[in-house]
Amino acid sequence: MPASDLALLEQAAHEAGEIALRYWRREPRVWDKGDGAGPVTEADLAVNAHLERLLRRARPDYGWLSEESADDPARLQAEHCFIIDPIDGTRAFIDGQVGFSHALAITRGDRVVAGVVHLPAQRTTYAASADGPALRDGKPIAPSAQGLRGARVLTSKASLDPVHWRGAAPPVKRSFRPSLAWRLCLVADGQFDATLSTRPAWEWDVAAGSLIAARAGCLASDLSGAPMRFNAARPLTDGLVVAAPALHRQLIAAMTPRMAMPGGRVDAPPPAD
């Protein structure tokens, strides 16, 4: 990875934030993408257009995967690929909440090598490269050492349905945040102990945050406990579990094995944000 790739992502994320804040709390135009894909705003598209111009001009040989761009199969042949969510937490953005983010990642092969999650309304930036520490606003971060009982877990109510667990759901304290990328970062810096999803996750929602969590000292896996892979032909992960290693092992051990669940693997797309 070129040494300047992370700096490029940070520059792009901050410029994205400046664009998004021009629309935030100013009643941007909103419409539904259809087919269960959820809402999109003129801000999503403006941010996406700017990022694509900036990043592809800077790295013309990199592939491109974004929630708001038509998928180009040529990305599968590129050594590096951008994976972008222009606005993660669009519904929160529409509602004027502060919990939306810009999630930008670069992969080499199927591994993320640079990632940035920027929350412009909170003036907070998380960043990491494959060979460096995870940072929040330039300062190193680390996860908590909490065990399973009483763990603060960012997840949906559906993920604690007993069908996903060996017996009852574990004794955790559930919370929720609108941006999935932000959830991974909150675990990376110890504000929460774990995040998990029993539904598939789009790559653009988790690519950047998964690297930040890993470089902070977490394990970031799918529901089977296997490392997540990226820039796939169908850009979905089979759920996710992110926590410090000991808690991660406890969560995986407590979960119903994937192939033991009715219907086996979950292949339906996740609900839109």
3-state DSSP call for residue 218?
Answer: coil
Whether residue 83 is annotated as binding a ligand: the answer is no
Instruction: Give the closest residue to 240 by CA, choosing from 260, 220, 212.
Output: 220
DSSP string across 134-179: -EETTEE-------STT-EEE--GGGGSGGGBSSSPPS-EEE--S-
Whether residue 84 is annotated as binding a ligand: the answer is no
H or E element that contains 132 = none
Whether residue 87 is annotated as binding a ligand: the answer is yes
Tokens representing 92 are 């929160």
Whether residue 205 is annotated as binding a ligand: the answer is yes
Helix count (H) and strand count (E) of the chain? 6, 16
Whether residue 141 is annotated as binding a ligand: the answer is no
Q: Which value, to the nearest 10 degrees, does the dihedral of the CA atoms of residues 80, 83, 86, 89 take? A: -160
Q: In degrees, to the nearest 5, what angle opens at C-alpha 54 toward C-alphas 51 and 56?
A: 95
* Known binding positions: 67, 85, 87-88, 205
Name the binding residues for Mg(2+): 67, 85, 87-88, 205
